[in-house]
Amino acid sequence: MSQYLLLWLLLFFSAEACAELKAQWNQGKAGISLRINLSETLTEQQKKLLYSGFPTFSHLEVRWLDGDIRRSLVFISECTVKYDLWEEKFQLLHFLELRKESSLQSFQQYQDLCLLADIRSQSNLIHLARQGARLEVRLDISQVSTEFAQDVRSWLIQQQSGVMRGLFSHMLGDLKLSESVATEVLAPPLAQDQEKRLERTDAKGANHG
Amino acid sequence: MPKVLSLLTLLGALAGSGQAAEKRLLLEKVEVTGSSRLPSAFLERELHLVPGSSPSEQELGDDRNRLLATGLFQSVQFFLQKGQTPGQAVLRIELMDDPGVFGSWAWGGALNLTQDQNASENIGGEFNPLSARMQLISRNLFNSLHRASSAVDYDGQGILRGFHVAYGFPRFSEESVQFDARMEAADAQARYLDVLGFGSRGQAYWTFDQNQQTSIQYGLAIYVNNRGSRYALAGFPRALTGPKIGIHSENRLLGFRTSEGYSYSASTILTTRGLNNMGYEVEGAWTESLWGRSLLTAQVQGLTVGWESLSYRASLRWEQALPILDAAADPEIYLQYTAGGDRFKDLHYNGREARLGLRFHSAGLIADIALSFRSFPEKLRETLDQELTQ
């Protein structure tokens, strides 16, 4: 009986592992891209924040990983949404650099817009297509914008007047301003024929450029 | 015509945004969970969040930010839910205590043990080389954001070599002003480098923030050298008392590990006896990250009374975080070299210290164990003895 239980546990955790984040190559109308969808990794607390009724900031970034060293940025996306308690739907307030107020039809639309890393940069794609790579994917969901986080820090600094100095060495170090998930994902190399297609696209782009 | 149209559109948009900003909620209930550091009544009084109130979304956002900036909480999150009465909302405030301090009064403590190796025989000979310094702080006295700090410094024979007590009014309602007071003393013979011109100091002043980094300070300062006692720097004026005004700028967060940046301050203590009897103080510090989790901090301090006397201290400190324990314990080693001197008329003292230490921070407590090599001015004892016999 205990063996069956052990086997069931192993299968369960393997299934959990399979449900982990994946990077998948995608052939769309606009060309080849590498997609990482973070919808499944959203934690309960992050969902709670999104439904809090206050403007909520989503910051998604993907970086190369070389050993344990984080390298250059491959993808970044930022958006702000607010759940309207009375209308029971999401409003998009900002997307990337743009102020873009509009209603979202569903939570799924928010996920497609803000939780999907769609890597299209040719220089990154060619490198990824040849060798594959380990990537770090980070999603921060917060009620406090990056700009305000800086203001909080400044305000805390102002409280360290000379007279009370020494008081603060015990605190103020680790404000938790966002609910974050950071995961590693293995991007597989692209099949050879598709890789050649990608290189041709890049060469055309270079000629046109 | 197009200009008029665009102006009308702009005015319409501004009016629209004004309406959006003014959208108010009617609160049916306010719930606070996760912390007992600030009682609900205090929050209601300071933030005016009571059932029946109708704050705007902007005001609620400001309230959340003010709670974050108290430094008591690691996390502050606001949630809205529909209330039982149509059109009314329930506000839930979820707080998470900052684990860097403990208890509802946000206590923190530090213990420093130092093994001294004095190079100056006539000063070091009589002292037990092991000294202990204990500090206790609170960021939230009486659960209402009063701030206080005190420390005592004993040598191995149980003789008090230094102390300080400091207190600060709560800084919550008025965010751009604060009041602090501090009294301190250090034994000039045993803690020469902790003394800047005067063995005993008392000061109390207001700090007005001018912008995100710079503030103006003014208040009262009383610097005293008790002649014949241990808390005196021989040769320096007996007392310097008067209104103190100054400017202070800082962009470093002085946590257990200081963040990168700089600070500087300059102040003067005014007296009616002319420029030659006024006190002038300057201080500057600069912290830079080196490789890995390594920090280098340089600091200088100087004080003059008129143009005849000068006291100065300078230090260079290197800190390296050690990856041997989990992040909660934060261990690090440090190496610090401090040098200082004092000049007053024909008197001239010099001292220096090299210190190697290990420190870590866990659950609100900082432990610091150090080995110190000191060289203090030998002339200081002779002068103090002479003054005592006169």
pLDDT at B171 over 60: yes
Rounded CA separation B161/B296 (Å): 28
Two tokens at A10? Answer: 């192993």
What is the pLDDT, as a whole number, of residue A54?
92
- A-chain CB neighbours of B71 within 8 Å are 156, 159, 168, 171-172
pLDDT of residue B212 exceeding 80 = no
CB contact set of A40 (below 8 Å; sequence gap of 6+)? A19, A21
Q: How far apart, in whole angstroms, are the C-alpha atoms of residue B11 and residue B5?
A: 10
Once rounded to an integer, what is the mean pLDDT over residues B346-366? 88
Question: Any alpha helices (H) in chain B, and if so which ranges?
Answer: 2-22, 40-47, 57-68, 121-124, 379-389
Q: Is the pLDDT of residue A7 over 60?
A: no
Identify the CA nearest to B194 among candidates B217, B218, B164.
Answer: B164
| Portion 72-101 of B in contact with A at CB < 8 A | 72, 74-75, 77-82, 89, 96, 98, 100-101
Give mean pLDDT, residues A87-97.
Answer: 84
Measured between beta carbons, the chain A residues lying within 8 angstroms of B77 are 49, 52, 143
Q: Which residue has the higher pLDDT, B231 or A141?
A: A141
Contacts with A, B 132-161, CB within 8 Å? 135, 137, 139, 147, 149, 151
Q: Which of A50, A52, A164 to mutate to probe the B interface, most B CBs <10 Å?
A: A164
Cα B163–chain centre separation:
16
Q: How close does chain A come to B290, measured CA to CA in Å?
A: 16
**pLDDT band with cut points at 50, 70 and 90 for residue A172:** low
Residue B141 has pLDDT above 50, yes or no: yes
Count CB atoms within 10 A of the CB of residue A159. 23
pLDDT digits (tens, 9 = 90+) for B55-90: 998 889 888 888 887 878 889 999 999 999 888 999
* Plot region of A196 (φ>0 → left; ψ -120 to 50 → alpha; else → beta): alpha
d(CA B332, CA B103): 25
How confident is the model over A109-168, as pLDDT tens digits?
A: 899 889 988 888 887 788 778 778 888 899 999 998 777 777 777 777 877 766 666 656
User: For B13-37, how does the pLDDT look when each residue is reduced to its tens digit (9 = 90+)?
Assistant: 444 444 444 678 899 999 999 988 8
Q: For residue B52, what are its two tokens?
A: 């029946």
Tell me if A53 and B181 make a contact (CB, 8 A cut-off): no
Kindly state the average pLDDT of the residues B297-302: 96
Residues in chain B closer than 8 A to A152 (CB atoms): 65, 68-69
pLDDT band for position B182 (cuts 50, 70, 90): very high
Indicate the DSSP class of residue A168. Answer: G
Can you spell out the DSSP letters for B128-179? -SEEEEEEEEEEEETTTTEEEEEEEEE-TTS-EEEEEEEEE---SSSTTEEE
Task: Select from B35, B250, B366 the residue whose CB has the most chain A CBs within 10 Å, as the one to mutate to test that interface.
Answer: B250
Helix and strand numbers, DSSP H then E, in chain B: 5, 18
